[in-house]
Amino acid sequence: MAEPNAKRSKTDSKGKVCLVGSGIVGRSFAVIFSKAGYSVSLHDTVEQQLKDAMILIKAQLEDFENKGLLKDCVHQTADDAFSMISTTLDLKEAMDGAFFLQESVPENLELKQKIFKEFDALASKDMILSSSTSAIVPSRFTLNLKHTKNCLVSHPINPPALCPFIEILPSPETDQEVVEKTLSLWRECGMSPITVKKEVAGFVLNRLQYALMGEAYRLVENGVCSPEDVNTTLTDGLAMRWSLIGPFETIHLNAPKGVKDYFERYTASMEPIIQEQTEANTVFKQETIDKIHESMCRIAPVESIIERSKLRDSRLSALAVHRINEKAGIAVPTTVGDTMSNERTKVESKGKICIVGSGLVGRSFAVIFSKAGYSVCLYDNVEKQLKEAMILIKANLDDFESKGLLKYTAVKTADDAFSFVTTATDLKEAMSGAFFLQESVPENLELKQKVFKEFDSLASDDMILSSSTSCIVPSKFTLNLKHTKNCIVSHPVNPPALCPFLEVVPSTETNQEVVEKTLSLWRECGMSPITVKKEVAGFVLNRLQYALLAESYRLVENDVCTPDDVNITLTDGLAMRWSLIGPFETGHLNAPKGIKDYYERYGPPTEAVLKEQSETVLKFKQETIDKIHESMCRIAPVESIIERSKLRDSRLSALAVHRNNEKAKL
């Protein structure tokens, strides 16, 4: 790789690529191919559009160079990459000598059929003809052509130059060699291609996206949560993990013995929720579970799950540092020395919190509360577990300090935060003087009922009693208690100290003041709490997660794609966007007039895919669409969508830089 100030020589072209259509997708492909060393001929039928496109392409390449996103490319300067691009109004000229054509015209079947006939008439016998279509299977516009065996789909995610995911969909007639050459080309250009093995509506990306979006819509329609809270569930919870390891590796690391173990533990709670969402009798088959398990074991064998989880947490902490720096407006990652304050001021305790259970979740809460300046008494009935927990809590705090994650917290050093943490094997001692209790015992209804009766007998009248349960609604273990109005659920995402999402679920008897105090406490501790307004199975997080997992499972079971390709669809595609702006804002920015416009454009194909996925007929109602639209317009009014999209792209490019740096370390 050339030094930053070294004189660069012009690289010969690796070959010519023809791009048809100069909109955002066509322009993005020009960036992708040119920086990889390919000559690009960009074709459109309107000269002014080509002139505008070249201005925008040059600007994007310059932005990439400024941010270091060209340093590992064939062309490491914007000028060199831009020199590879030419434009023409003549399709024959554009295609002449090209080995690959990528079409990016509007999503209209008759138009696709028309232009592919034109391509077919002009193409050389070995030219690959590829379409960017997001919804039309290739057999509908490529059959009965002379070069039908050379035709396929290469569907990216918006914006393509910043999210490396791309799905390759051949028709039944496509030559396998063409598929392999296309995959190889995209990999060489720095993309992360997957293969869609069958022609299915929505391909892989949109089937996964629509599954989650369908449940997100239902949660809003049914008054379970707000559109903003759906977005927070993704940005600060699910998508943080998925952007690193995808949904299948997430569950692989969330059970001691991997995917098989996960399905054994959670199928009983997952299937009823999925059946409620789809009104279909979903049964997870062992054969498919085994297939997913084997794929994930190639990434992380069962005996290495603990180490792989440590790597996940290390990457999550690096992502957390990136997010903190981004919020603070720091363009370049700081060094450890820069992040630490020279002043060390002793912080007085803000109050006492009792944590019941010293496992992973309990330990994480000890870190969260102590660094926020609260005294923590960690209770467990086994002394040895408490001793081991304290070692791990101190190590976690030391790691946070070394990475700058205590920079903006009330307590700036690991030692000072750790001094706030004590332990007890006596529950009465642990609860004495505490204003808030967070329970993190195993997920068992009888055990929850038992411990909450104990809490009730020892609690002061104003103590808030909170549970970490992931799926048991609070009324099942908090009613008929003396302090039932003080009882609530605060359910985090794993690992809680690194993913700030947390859902607060009151029972029908919980006092509203308790809800507000709980939300305020979590916000003060740096968390991103949402309110679940109704007691529903799975709350919000797991209902969204299970909707996506169910479709992920079906795609593998029906041999549409591999488990690894499901993960890539999230890590290098959907979750990159969702981790920044969530699913509703993603839709809002993907249509010129916002989310209303999005549903007008994409509502029918979304409903068609959802109908295929489920026996439930979901019809998008205008009243709910308006509610979502109003919420998103508070974030980005329609007239500011272009500017907000630029901010999204700026954040995506910063995330891309962070990911490149992390890959270099790995």
The pLDDT, as a whole number, for residue 11 is: 64
Ordered by start, the domain boundaries in the chain are: 16-199, 241-332+546-665, 352-531
Tokens of 125: 């016998």
Ramachandran angles phi, psi of 4, nearest 5°: -55, -35
Distance CA 531, CA 539 (A): 10
Architecture of domain 16-199: 3-Layer(aba) Sandwich (3.40)
What is the per-residue pLDDT for 331? 46
**Helical (H) or strand (E) element with 502:** strand 501-506
Fold type of domain 241-332+546-665: N-(1-d-carboxylethyl)-l-norvaline Dehydrogenase; domain 2 (1.10.1040)
- For 171-191, b/e burial (b = at least 16 CB within 10 A) is bebbeeebbebbbebbeebbb
Q: Which helix (H) or strand (E) holds 402?
A: helix 383-402
Give the pLDDT band (50/70/90) at residue 276.
confident
Residue 273: pLDDT above 50?
yes
Would you say the CATH fold of 352-531 matches that of 16-199? yes
pLDDT digits 0-9 by tens, 637-657: 999 999 999 999 999 999 999
Average pLDDT of the residues in 467-478: 96
The string of pLDDT tens digits covering residues 617-635 is 678 999 999 999 999 999 9
Whole-structure pTM value: 0.93
- Residue 51: is its pLDDT beyond 70? yes
Q: Where does the pLDDT of residue 591 fall: very low under 50, low under 70, confident under 90, or very high at 90 and above?
A: very high
Task: Tell me the pLDDT band of 502, cut-offs 50, 70 and 90.
Answer: very high
On whether the CB atoms of residues 353 and 437 are closer than 8 A, the answer is yes
pLDDT for the residue 607: 86
Asked whether the bond before 272 is cis by omega within 30 degrees of 0, the reply is no
How far is CA 496 from each of CA 396, 442, 656, 658, rounded to the nearest angstrom?
12, 16, 24, 22
> What are the pLDDT digits (tens) for 559-572?
999 999 999 999 99
What Å distances lie between residue 120 and 94, 112, 177, 489, 568, CA to CA?
14, 12, 19, 61, 32
Alpha carbons 73 and 81: distance in angstroms, whole number? 10
> According to the model, what pLDDT value does residue 280 have?
66
Q: Are 242 and 570 in contact (CB under 8 A)?
A: yes
Query: Helix H segments across 492-594?
Result: 512-524, 541-557, 563-569, 575-589
- Phi, psi of 250, deg, nearest 5: -55, -50
**CATH class of the domain whose range is 352-531:** alpha beta
CA distances in angstroms from 416 to 163, 398, 401, 410, 423, listed in the order given: 41, 11, 11, 10, 16
Q: Is the pLDDT of residue 555 over 80?
A: yes
pLDDT tens digits, 24-47 = 999 999 999 999 999 999 999 999
88 half-sphere exposure, CB direction, 13 A CA radius: 15
**CB 228 within 8 Å of CB 631:** yes
Alpha-carbon span 364 to 370, nearest angstrom: 10
User: For residues 148 and 174, what is the distance between their CA atoms, to the nearest angstrom?
Assistant: 7
